[in-house]
């Protein structure tokens, strides 16, 4: 049974959002003189347009609430407390109902995207090791797979941490325990004592899912101090609904934090990543110099659009948990249909069985096809794979067009070459 995630009608959603906006500061009716902010420029964005009264998200954009800080900690900017409460509800839905955490045991906020959320996690754990273990920066490193998102490299660069990457099997995209062990031993030999581990819940290119036990077995066996973050930027709103037995939840005590990205599978506006972490960790990045901010600031981004948090909340409660499950079921069925077509043509591809990403070997495609159908390569300069992402708009009718194009062009040529 879902604790916080309840399906709501459009009228209920409107009522809740507009009531929250009424609880925020009103720049027109109140004498607010000290805040360096206002509603959107009304010479451009007309607040009196009739449709705005029936459009809670557009109204939120126009009223422009700033969700600076982390609201799950308690005190926040009271000017925007109405819409901050909606963000807190959103964090509870994600942490408890989607990722199976216990109520009120997680902190979190709506970040600008998965990149920021991943950097936030690594920043927290770097400071945690420094604060709790008196570690030197040089003692700390990041460990992830070769298929991990480039945001991990950004974090390593920004936070001046060494990064070690575990090779993946080319066909299965799996990481093997012996390879993990080799990388850990190499890092230890180079005097690394504290490890920030990134585990993938559906990689952006392949939709592959890391075996978390492969990580935890080796780090435990080698008596390493580690903190584990799950990058679910792509899979966070998908994988928990296709794998009921997933170990990538807050029930797994080895996991401390998650990244989710609502502007991918949740179809929210860009700029809506979600960062979730167990209580007691985010304080390691408190910027006390933000003394003019009520409640101070524990986030990387600082000022944030409250409208983005409202958008994600609206999407989730409009669908409800059962509607969301059904949506993922349909995408799974479409993906399975496409895989069947590719298999019938003897086309080599990779697909994790719980994923809606299909990655095809480049030799079965040509530039005309990849351009016409917007297929994305693993490497633009020397592609080995191209991916299809079965999103809401990617219907079987559209997939048939791609199959027909492959049949009529590249497939015949590849078959002829293979038969020589």
pTM of the model: 0.94
Claim to verify: residue 138 and residue 233 sit in the same structural domain:
yes
Asked whether residue 300 is assigned to any structural domain, the reply reads: no
Residue whose structure tokens are 């037995």: 245
Claim to verify: residue 328 and residue 260 sit in the same structural domain:
no
Residue whose structure tokens are 């360096």: 36
- Integer CA distances (angstroms), 75 to 11, 67, 68, 78, 109, in order: 30, 12, 11, 8, 14
- If one counts the domains in the chain, the total is 2
In sequence order, the 6+-apart residues with CB closer than 8 A to the CB of 52 are 46, 58, 59, 62
Asked whether residue 254 is assigned to any structural domain, the reply reads: yes
Give the pLDDT of residue 78.
86
Closest by CA to 20, choosing from 346, 307, 374, 333, is: 307
Which of 283, 302, 335 is the last residue in one of the domains? 283
Per residue in 307-330, pLDDT (tens digit) is 999 999 999 999 999 999 999 999
Asked whether residue 32 is assigned to any structural domain, the reply reads: no
Q: How far is CA 215 from the centre of its chain?
A: 20
Give the pLDDT of residue 391.
96
Per residue in 33-43, pLDDT (tens digit) is 888 888 888 88
Per residue in 128-165, pLDDT (tens digit) is 999 999 999 999 999 999 999 999 999 999 999 999 99
Asked whether residue 6 is assigned to any structural domain, the reply reads: no
Which of 256, 283, 310 is the last residue in one of the domains? 283
Claim to verify: residue 256 and residue 342 sit in the same structural domain:
no
Claim to verify: residue 110 and residue 209 sit in the same structural domain:
yes
Span of 106-115, 152-161, 283-292 with lowest mean pLDDT:
283-292
Contact 183, 166 (CB under 8 A): yes
Range of the domain at 387: 320-418
Task: Give me the mean pLDDT over the 336-350 stretch.
Answer: 97
Give the pLDDT of residue 70.
94
Asked whether residue 49 is assigned to any structural domain, the reply reads: no
| pLDDT level of residue 48 (50, 70, 90 thresholds) | confident
Claim to verify: residue 249 and residue 342 sit in the same structural domain:
no
Claim to verify: residue 142 and residue 268 sit in the same structural domain:
yes
Write down the number of H helices and E strands in the chain. 12, 11
Claim to verify: residue 339 and residue 405 sit in the same structural domain:
yes
Claim to verify: residue 138 and residue 237 sit in the same structural domain:
yes
Q: How far is CA 365 from the centre of its chain?
A: 29
Which of 283, 305, 334 is the last residue in one of the domains? 283
Claim to verify: residue 388 and residue 255 sit in the same structural domain:
no
Q: Give dist(CA 309, CA 83) in Å, integer.
A: 8
| pLDDT level of residue 412 (50, 70, 90 thresholds) | low
Q: Give dist(CA 120, CA 127) in Å, integer.
A: 11
Asked whether residue 394 is assigned to any structural domain, the reply reads: yes
Claim to verify: residue 137 and residue 208 sit in the same structural domain:
yes
Asked whether residue 354 is assigned to any structural domain, the reply reads: yes
CATH of the domain at 398: 3.90.1150.10
Q: Across the beta sheet with 194-200, what order do the strands follow?
A: 106-111, 273-278, 255-261, 225-232, 194-200, 140-145, 162-166
Q: Give dist(CA 173, CA 146) in Å, integer.
A: 9
Claim to verify: residue 250 and residue 331 sit in the same structural domain:
no
Claim to verify: residue 140 and residue 212 sit in the same structural domain:
yes
Asked whether residue 341 is assigned to any structural domain, the reply reads: yes
Give the pLDDT of residue 29.
84
Q: Give dist(CA 80, CA 64) in Å, integer.
A: 10
CATH of the domain at 125: 3.40.640.10
- Which bin fits 374, alpha (ψ -120 to 50), beta or left (φ > 0)? left
């Amino acid at each position: 049974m879902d604790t916080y995630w309840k399906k709501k009608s459009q009228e209920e959603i409107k009522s809740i959002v507009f009531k929250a906006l009424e609880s925020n500061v009103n720049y027109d009716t109140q004498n607010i003189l000290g805040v360096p902010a206002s509603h959107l420029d009304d010479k451009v964005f007309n607040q009196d347009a009739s449709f705005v009264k029936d459009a809670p998200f557009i109204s939120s954009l126009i009223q422009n609430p700033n969700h600076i800080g982390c609201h799950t900690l308690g005190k926040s900017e009271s000017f925007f407390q109405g819409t901050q409460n909606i963000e807190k509800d959103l964090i509870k839905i994600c942490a408890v109902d989607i990722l199976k955490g216990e109520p009120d045991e997680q902190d979190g906020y709506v970040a600008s995207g998965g990149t920021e959320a991943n950097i936030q996690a690594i920043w927290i754990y770097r400071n945690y090791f420094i604060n709790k273990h008196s570690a030197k920066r040089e003692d700390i490193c990041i460990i992830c797979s070769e298929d991990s998102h480039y945001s991990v490299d950004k974090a390593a660069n920004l936070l001046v941490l060494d990064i070690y990457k575990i090779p993946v099997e080319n066909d299965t995209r799996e990481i093997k325990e012996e390879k993990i062990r080799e990388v850990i031993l190499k890092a230890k030999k180079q005097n690394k004592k504290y490890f920030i581990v990134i585990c993938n819940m559906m990689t952006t290119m392949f939709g592959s899912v890391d075996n978390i036990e492969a990580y935890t077995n080796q780090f435990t066996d080698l008596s390493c101090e580690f903190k584990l973050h799950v990058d679910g930027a792509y899979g966070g709103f998908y994988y928990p609904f296709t794998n009921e037995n997933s170990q990538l939840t807050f029930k797994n005590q080895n996991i401390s934090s998650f990244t989710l990205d609502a502007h991918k599978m949740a179809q929210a506006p860009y700029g809506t990543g979600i960062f979730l972490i167990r209580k007691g960790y985010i304080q390691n990045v408190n910027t006390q110099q933000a003394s003019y901010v009520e409640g101070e600031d524990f986030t990387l981004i600082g000022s944030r659009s409250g409208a983005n948090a409202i958008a994600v909340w609206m999407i989730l409660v409009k669908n409800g948990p059962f509607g969301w499950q059904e949506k993922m079921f349909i995408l799974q069925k479409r993906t399975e249909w496409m895989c069947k077509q590719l298999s019938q043509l003897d086309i080599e591809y990779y697909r994790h069985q719980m994923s809606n990403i299909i990655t095809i070997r480049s030799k079965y495609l040509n530039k005309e096809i990849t351009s016409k159908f917007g297929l994305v390569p693993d490497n633009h300069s020397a592609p080995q794979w191209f991916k299809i992402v079965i999103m809401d708009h990617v219907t079987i009718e559209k997939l048939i067009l791609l199959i027909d194009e492959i049949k009529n062009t590249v497939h015949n040529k590849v078959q002829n070459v293979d038969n020589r």
